[in-house]
Every structure is written in C-alpha cells, then in structure tokens.
Amino acid sequence: MSRAGKKDPTSTQAGTVVASYGRQFTVELADGALTACVTRGKRTDVACGDRVAIALTGPDQGVIESIDKRVSLFYRSDIQRQKLIAANVTQIVIVAAASPPFHPELLDRCLAAAEDAAIPAVLALNKMDLPASKQALDKLQLYRNLGYTLLPLAAKIDIAPLRERLAGHTSVLVGQSGMGKSTIINRLLPDADARVGDLSAALGGGRHTTTHARLYHLDAASHIIDSPGLQEFGLVHVEPAHLAHAFVEFRSHLGHCKFNDCRHLTEPGCAISQAVERGEIDALRVESYRKLVVQLLKKRQHWQ
Ligand SMILES: Nc1nc2c(ncn2[C@@H]2O[C@H](COP(=O)(O)OP(=O)(O)OP(=O)(O)O)[C@@H](O)[C@H]2O)c(=O)[nH]1
Ligand SMILES: [Mg+2]
Ligand SMILES: [Zn+2]
C-alpha cells in the first residue's frame, strides 16, 4: 500500500460526492476542487450527496476512506440488490409528464420510499404546455387530496414555480426517463448547458438520457441532484408491516383490521379493504400497495 493510501486521519480531506458512476465518484473538496475517487475494496455504498473523508492519492485523485453520518438516504431495492439514489437530501421532487405517459404505480413507489425514508416529497407535473397535460393534472389531483404538493410546470417555458420550492433545500429529481429532469437542471443553472452535456449520452434517435446522479449547487444553501430515469422501483428493503404506513391515507385505518398481522390483501375484516369500499381510499393506491407487498413476501421466501 502506498503512503498516500494509508489510513491516516490527519491526511484526509472532507468533501461531498457530486457524481456517482457506480464504482467511481467525483468528490468536491472545500475549495471546490473536483477529485476522481474510488472506494476501498468492493465498497459500493456511497451515494451522490454523501459527505466523505478522502485520502488524496494524486493531485486530483483520491480514495474514499469514510462516509459521514447521513441526514437521509433515498434508495430502491430489488431482489438482487439495492440501488442508492441520493444521500442527505431534504426534499424529493418526483417529476412526471403526460408524454411519455407516466405510470402512477411508479409514482406511488417513489412516494412510499420517500415516506419510508422520512423525506418530504413534492410532485411536479412537467410539460404543461402539451395539451395532454390537462388530463394528467386531473389524474394527479388524487395526490393533492392526500396532502402532497402538486406543482404544474413547463420547465422549457418557465422554471420559476419550481425554483422557489428549492430554496434552502438539497433536492433530488426522480422520475421516469423523458419527464424533463435534466431540462429542469438546464433551466435552473445559467451555465448548465455544458455541465448537463457532460452527464448525458446521446443514444440512438438523438435522445439524451442521464446515466448517473449528479449534484449541482443552486446557491450556497440550495443544491439539486439530477438522477437517471427510473424504469422500476423496488421496495423490498421495507418491512412488510411498515409498508402500509408509507401510504399516508392508510394510516388512520391501521390497527382496525380483524387480524393484527393483516397484510391488507384478501383477509376478511380488513379495514383498508373496507375503506376502499366506502370510497375513502382510492382503489389504484391499494393496488400499488398490494403489488409491493406481494413482491416483498416473495423476497422474504427467497431469503429463507
Ligand atoms: N414540451 C415540453 N417538452 C419538455 C419540457 N421539459 C422537457 N421537455 C422535453 O422532454 C424530453 C426529455 O427531457 P430530459 O430533460 O432529457 O428528461 P429526463 O427526465 O432528464 O430523462 P432521463 O435523463 O432519461 O431520465 C426532451 O426532449 C425535452 O426537451 C417541457 O416543459 N415541455
Ligand atoms: Mg436526464
Ligand atoms: Zn387489513
């Protein structure tokens, strides 16, 4: 091991992970210098937004020695592995659009993950300049009724409605591919063209898809992370008993089912099913929840 690679707290520097490429990371040091970093061994539990201590191994190269305690961690998980999305965020902005069509189930999963991680979430319906957006806005009214902020937006035309929501926060933009997350970044940052260009890869058909998470500074107190488009969002890390709490409108009904260990699937005397019948809970939300529970239970069987 080289001298520079030795673990010596006096030789480490504090920084923030501003880009995550899976096994490689860009860490920004206090003076703004960007350092290309790797982790020790096979460690991959570093996320964009993490505050870390690095040991320099060259002028602009380093090794991540430790991760500071996180304020929050937003991640998803499937049967095989977990995927960290962003660390230390204080707000999640879920970006949807009428075209390409968004999937309400994915939206429910993002919201449930946000609730489970105790991070406030805001919904932005982008591309309001498209005629199809009116119908999409009606569809999303449900979430307003649940208490979430729903922000109609046309990032291409006016970013101001979103900008004011970001002040003082570290936010992460999440959502399906093509919803306009990187466009939002471009509009928020005067010199973003170059910076967004470098994190987008032109694919066949000229589509630009973000391939890794990247943190940008809006001002000294406000930061925003762009993330790659989501195709799926597993929540197998959530305890089955906690999952129902992540659906906010279920909460007041929990504890009233006939069986204490009710999973709210097809059990008799289920307070959630009864609330759906009375029209107090939207059937689509329960469907999203049930699909997640079934996946969770499968995962648990897989473990045993
Ligand atoms: N009409 C309209 N199109 C928009 C708006 N915002 C973004 N778009 C378009 O939507 C397409 C996708 O935008 P991106 O910003 O690349 O989407 P993304 O969410 O970052 O996609 P991924 O990186 O794949 O996750 C681009 O062609 C944008 O020009 C908007 O407000 N109105
Ligand atoms: Mg993008
Ligand atoms: Zn029940």
The string of pLDDT tens digits covering residues 93-120 is 999 999 999 999 999 999 999 999 999 9
Q: What's residue 4's pLDDT?
A: 46
Q: Is 126 in the pocket of ligand 1 (CB under 6 A)?
A: yes
Q: Could you tell me the distance, in angstroms and rounded to a whole number, from the CA of residue 174 to the centre of ligand 1?
A: 13
pLDDT by residue (tens digit) across 145-166?
999 999 999 999 999 999 999 9
Nearest CA to ligand 1 atom 8: 180
Which residue in the block uniquely carries the two structure tokens 């991959």? 44
Q: What's residue 241's pLDDT?
A: 84
Counting atoms of ligand 1 from 1, which one is nearest the CA of 226? 20
What are the boundaries of each domain within the chain?
A: 3-67, 73-226, 240-303
Which residue in the block uniquely carries the two structure tokens 């380093």? 62
Q: Which two tokens stand for residue 264?
A: 């709210």
CB 252 within 8 A of CB 199: no
Quick one: pLDDT band at residue 297, thresholds 50, 70, 90? Answer: confident
Q: Is 49 in the pocket of ligand 1 (CB under 6 A)?
A: no
Mutate-to-test residue for ligand 1 from 125, 162, 176, 183, highest number of ligand atoms within 8 A of CB: 183
Q: Is 285 in the pocket of ligand 1 (CB under 6 A)?
A: no
Note the ligand closest to the C-alpha atom of 184.
1
CATH class of domain segment(s) 73-226: alpha beta
- CA–CA separation, 304 and 299 (whole Å): 9
Q: How far apart are the first and last CA of the chain?
A: 40
Q: Could you tell me the distance, in angstroms and rounded to a whole number, from the CA of residue 200 to the centre of ligand 1?
A: 12
Q: Which two tokens stand for residue 84?
A: 């960290």
CB 217 within 8 A of CB 195: no
Domain covering 240-303 in this structure, CATH number: 1.10.40.50
Q: Is 152 in the pocket of ligand 1 (CB under 6 A)?
A: no
Q: Could you tell me the distance, in angstroms and rounded to a whole number, from the CA of residue 102 to the centre of ligand 2?
A: 15
Nearest CA to ligand 1 atom 28: 180
Mean of pLDDT over the chain: 90
Q: Could you give the 3-state DSSP secondary structure of residue 40?
A: coil
Strand stretches in the chain, DSSP E: 12-20, 24-29, 34-39, 51-58, 61-67, 73-77, 82-87, 91-97, 121-126, 149-152, 170-174, 200-202, 208-210, 213-219, 222-226
Q: Is 179 in the pocket of ligand 1 (CB under 6 A)?
A: yes
Note the ligand closest to the C-alpha atom of 247.
3
Nearest CA to ligand 1 atom 10: 180
Mutate-to-test residue for ligand 1 from 103, 179, 184, highest number of ligand atoms within 8 A of CB: 179
Q: What's residue 80's pLDDT?
A: 76
Note the ligand closest to the C-alpha atom of 266.
3
Superfamily of domain 3-67: Nucleic acid-binding proteins (2.40.50.140)
- CA–CA separation, 95 and 123 (whole Å): 6
Q: Could you tell me the distance, in angstroms and rounded to a whole number, from the CA of residue 179 to the centre of ligand 1?
A: 5
| Amino acid identity for residue 206 in this structure | G
Which segment of 9-18, 85-94, 256-265 scores lowest on mean pLDDT? 9-18
Q: Is 202 in the pocket of ligand 1 (CB under 6 A)?
A: no
Q: Could you give the 3-state DSSP secondary structure of residue 163?
A: helix
Nearest CA to ligand 1 atom 30: 127
Q: Could you tell me the distance, in angstroms and rounded to a whole number, from the CA of residue 182 to the centre of ligand 2?
A: 4
Q: Is 165 in the pocket of ligand 1 (CB under 6 A)?
A: no
- CA–CA separation, 202 and 196 (whole Å): 12
Q: What's residue 205's pLDDT?
A: 42
pLDDT by residue (tens digit) across 183-227?
999 999 967 654 443 444 444 444 568 889 999 999 999 999 999
* 187 phi, psi to nearest 5 deg: -75, -30
- CA–CA separation, 33 and 87 (whole Å): 20
Q: What's residue 94's pLDDT?
A: 98
pLDDT by residue (tens digit) across 268-284?
999 999 999 999 999 99
